[in-house]
Structure 1
Amino acid sequence: MQLGMEMHEAALRCAARELTTLRPGGYSLEPCYRHDTDTGVTKVVTEADIHALKQSGNGGELQGTLVPDVVIHAGHPGQAQAVYDFKFPCANVDEAPPWRKYPKGHCHQGFHQGEMYEQALGVRASRIVPRLGIVR
């Protein structure tokens, strides 16, 4: 698990380095979204909001938020054009790992990450997997 976390951090640093040149102002790393499945409304949760919730002891209010690894957008994270999530499989490195399913009791139970990203942001979500590249 530690290796996966380190790989994730390295991938985020690499994405930041490249996207800063390729899409200045047109991407976000690990943006946070709150999606209401009943109304279909999705709101961006800002870093300031996240910090304030955690500082006030209300970090539990972030439960159920969506945090894809990379969002390509039209100048604001709420204007998503593409969504990517890094996946680092421990076994079967030649096969794309499945999207993580939300467990029973979770507000998004019955769905997987990719489905929720697509529902919330209105664009197809893709996985980025070492050795395989972008998996749609």
Structure 2
Amino acid sequence: MDKAVRAAASASATMKLLEAADVARIEHLLVECAKEADFIVNEREYGQGKYPDDKECLRVVGYDKNGDPIRRQAELGRLKHDVAFACVQREILRHFPNNVSIEPRYVIRTGKGGQQDIMKPDVVLHASGRPDQAQCVFDFKFPCLKDRKSDPLSVPETRDQMTRYASLDGQCNPAIITPQFGIIRE
């Protein structure tokens, strides 16, 4: 086989995207990771079968470097993300190490005077070995407040985030993953 043909075959294999069945399997596992993270953190923090109410979610637990309050819901979200990422590493990356990235960074030029938008989605499925070629983009959401649990897309920042992620030109519409609803796409 001539070198050019081998190089083309190699490049084709390198750019391989996940098949629909693999994407479905990964999406199922992402939902399981979100449920596991929600369950583990709630059990650890509040006891068996318990979870925070709205008052607890809004409780101030500290202050950031600007003096702004840090609420319990943000702290719980961080803890749940940590558990979910460990699950993704354990359950997904071991099967798809070349097609899945956790918190990759993307810099997109916005066209407004050379400004850049820096995005860091939670999980990205991409061409084999090419995180810059997104296939599907996911963000874990662990709503704490009752109204947000029933309608996670009601949060304007979440909708804005999904719109921004759409600029990565993946084959799937960007999605959020919640323990309550699983995969949610607009």
Question: TM above 0.5, one fold?
Answer: yes
Partner Cα separation in structure 1 for residue 150 and residue 175 of structure 2? 14
Tell me the C-alpha RMSD between the 2 structures: 2.5
Q: Which of 101, 106, 117 is the equivalent residue of 2:157? A: 101
Give the SS at the match of 1:120.
coil
The separation in 2 between residues aligned to 1:80 and 1:126, in whole angstroms, is 13
Q: TM-score, normalised by structure 1?
A: 0.68
Matched, 1:133 2:182: yes
Unmatched tracts of structure 2, length 5 or more: 1-73
Larger helix percent: 2
Q: 1:96 offset after TM fit, Å?
A: 3.9
Q: Does 1:78 align with 2:132?
A: yes
Q: Does 1:28 align with 2:101?
A: yes
Deviation at 1:91, TM superposition (A): 1.6
- Kept in 2: contact 1:96–1:132 (CA 8 A): no
In structure 2, what residue type is equivalent to 1:28?
Answer: S
Q: Is the contact made by 1:117 and 1:125 (CA closer than 8 Å) also made in structure 2?
A: yes
Alignment of 1:1-136 (within 5 A): 1-38=74-111, 64-75=117-128, 76-92=130-146, 94-98=149-153, 101=157, 112-123=160-171, 124-136=173-185
What code does the residue aligned with 2:98 have? G
Q: 1:116 to 1:32 in 2, by over 3 A?
A: same
Contact 2:133–2:170 (CA under 8 A) maintained in structure 1 = no
Q: Which has the larger radius of gyration?
A: 2
The residue identity in structure 1 corresponding to 2:167 is Q
Say if 1:89 and 1:127 are closer, same or farther in 2 by CA, change over 3 A: same
Q: What TM-score results when the alignment is normalised by the length of structure 2?
A: 0.51
> Where in structure 1 do 4 or more consecutive aligned residues deviate above 6 Å?
none
SS of match in other structure, 2:135: strand
Q: Residue 15 and residue 100 in structure 1: after superposition, are their counterparts in 2 closer, same or farther (change >3 A)?
A: farther
Matched AA of 1:74: A
Percent identical across equivalent pairs? 38
How far residue 14 of structure 1 moved from its aligned partner, in angstroms, is 0.6
Equivalents in 1 of 2:117, 2:175: separation in Å?
A: 20
Q: Distance in 1 between matches of 2:75 and 2:157?
A: 21
2:25 corresponds in structure 1 to none
